[in-house]
Chain A
Amino acid sequence: MSALASHFSYAVTIFLLVAGLFIIIARGNLIKKMVGLSIFQTSVFLLYIVPGKLVGGTAPIVAPGFQVYSNPLPHVLILTAIVVGVATLALGLALAVRVHEAYGTIEEDEILERDAAS
């Protein structure tokens, strides 16, 4: 139990990771899949950010009266990862819109049906 308490953030990370992946696999709706993908990617943000925080540390800007600073690098990396996530989400949704225009549905099984019929 103590291991879970001291590694709480990892538990959350793993939960988000698996939950996101589950949604991607289990849902046939293209929009819901994108939601799953976003949750999946969010888990990684947590994985990076949490170890960067030092208890009692401040933002890493040199100022009198502070000795302990948090590591800024994970934040910068994750800012980049967020940008990538935004781009992926925008592109995925754009494709979903186009699929809807071309097929009249965004349900995966219906799309397959219509492809098989045509």
Chain B
Amino acid sequence: MNRQLVLRVIAKLMIPFILIFALYVQFHGDFGPGGGFQAGVALAAGVIFYALIFGLARTRRAVPDSLLDGMIAGGVLLYGGVGVAGMLLGGNFLDYFVLDADTVIGQHRGIFWVEAGVGITVSSVMLRIFYLFADRANLTESERDHPEGER
């Protein structure tokens, strides 16, 4: 779709706003509707939009698979890390009350990092799913791992 000038220009205009909006949903999640899951999906949608217009190969150079794998694992570990931090500070698992001397600030802090973990993992998982499905069509017959029927 390289020659679609209108699409390319509009996409370049819109994608930054999609990404900013994703961040807004992420960080405003404490006070209004939003949170890590929705933000992650919006973020991934922005990148998928880019891939649809500019092609999978270019997108993969911008957001490589290895980064995504790291983010998938890293987000879960961040979430779990907040939980473990609660345990290390003398509370139960996922205990936000002990994260700060002031329990309200502790709650804010806990939710912030947990939602950050959710956002990171959801966005990378969504993108990874997209990559995997989009990539499947490009494989040649020989590259596919044929699960062979027996007998």
Contacts and interface: CB of A to CB of B under 8 A. Distances in A.
Tell whether A and B belong to one assembly: yes
Interface of A: 59, 61, 79, 83, 90, 93-94, 97-98, 101-102, 115, 118
B72 to A, nearest CB: 13
Interface in B95-151: 129, 132-133, 136, 144, 146-147, 149, 151
Contacts of A90: 129
Contacts of A93: 133
Q: At the interface, is chain B mostly helix, strand, loop or mixed?
A: loop
A83 B37 CA distance: 9
B132 A94 contact: yes
Interface string B13-44: 00000000000000000011100010000000
A101 B146 contact: yes
A13 B147 CA distance: 40
16 contacts: A59-B32, A59-B33, A61-B32, A79-B37, A83-B37, A93-B133, A94-B132, A94-B133, A97-B133, A97-B136, A98-B147, A101-B144, A102-B146, A102-B147, A115-B149, A118-B151
